Amino acid sequence: MATLGMSEDERTAIERFQRDVVEPSMTSLVILYFTAAWCGPCKQLSPIIDKVVGDYAAKGVTLARIDVDAEKFLAAQFQIRSVPTVYAFFQGQPVADLTQYRSEGQFKRAFDQLLGQLPVKGEAQDLAAQVEPLIAMGEEVLAGGDAPRAESIFAQIRDMDPDNPAVLGGLARAMIAGGKTDEARSLLDSRGEEQAKHPAIARARAALEVAAAPAVDVSAEQARLDANPDDHEARFAIAQAAMAAGDRDSAADALLEIVARDREWNEGAARTRFLQMLEAAGFEDPWGRAQRRRLSALLFT
């Protein structure tokens, strides 16, 4: 906004806008909220915006409220014809018009989308940058088979970022790998409904289910299977025992054989168990990718 020929009040208004909106927007997502004391819809919207912006403050979202009666010049500059009017500002420019949004869910979805697209810098992003390489270290140690050290690493990261599902999922899997299934189950059960849906928590839950397979003598089941290759119950028990022994290749072979012979057996139990093994392994695991190809070839050819 040019200041030539402006009154002192107008220049002061621009300076306030520069200080309260433009400068913070260089690193933060500023929600610019035009409102008025007489506006009924504004009275309903204000607590919603206050709450959502507060929830996202650590992610670099801030609120700038402008009363159109007190700031007539700014309202005119933005050609505000009705209130409430809500814009998202980043690096000195409007990046989204949020005026039509009225619910907490709508604003959260909009914020999530904008934060996913823009290089906003907040406490949460700074913490994520610190935690990400440490999580990678913990995963590497866990993949290398050192469950106690991996558990120690993830426990230390949890002290830094207590509610990070990737950290909690890694910690639970390290506990499971170390034989601490009860502790892992307690940790996973303590997660809220929303966090329980996170892929890292779901992966840990799948690992827990796989680890819970009973370690039993299946010589009788093997004899039954030798006598009748379509004894899926016996083959499934053998697969469970292989999982308990950590022999995931044998477990996968047995489960896929059941799927090949009767994919709907026991309401698809073999396929469900097989998918749990894949989820526990993780999407990037080379073994898991190879097994997914085997399952796809079986189901779609």
Active-site annotation, residues: 39, 42
- For residues 96 and 112, is the Cβ–Cβ distance under 8 A? no
Helix (H) or strand (E) holding 62: strand 61-67
Give backbone dihedrals phi and psi of 126, rounded to 5 degrees, phi first. Answer: -65, -40
- The CA distance from 282 to 265, in Å, is 26
- For residues 107 and 98, is the Cβ–Cβ distance under 8 A? yes
Q: Which residues contact 121 (CB under 8 A, 6 or more apart)?
A: 27, 28, 60
- For residues 225 and 234, is the Cβ–Cβ distance under 8 A? yes
- For residues 88 and 94, is the Cβ–Cβ distance under 8 A? yes
Tell me which DSSP letter residue 198 carries. S
Angle at 296 between CA 265 and CA 209, to 5 degrees: 55
What's the burial of 301, exposed, middle or buried (CB within 10 Å: 0-12/13-18/19+)?
exposed
- For residues 265 and 272, is the Cβ–Cβ distance under 8 A? no
End-to-end Cα spacing for the chain:
64
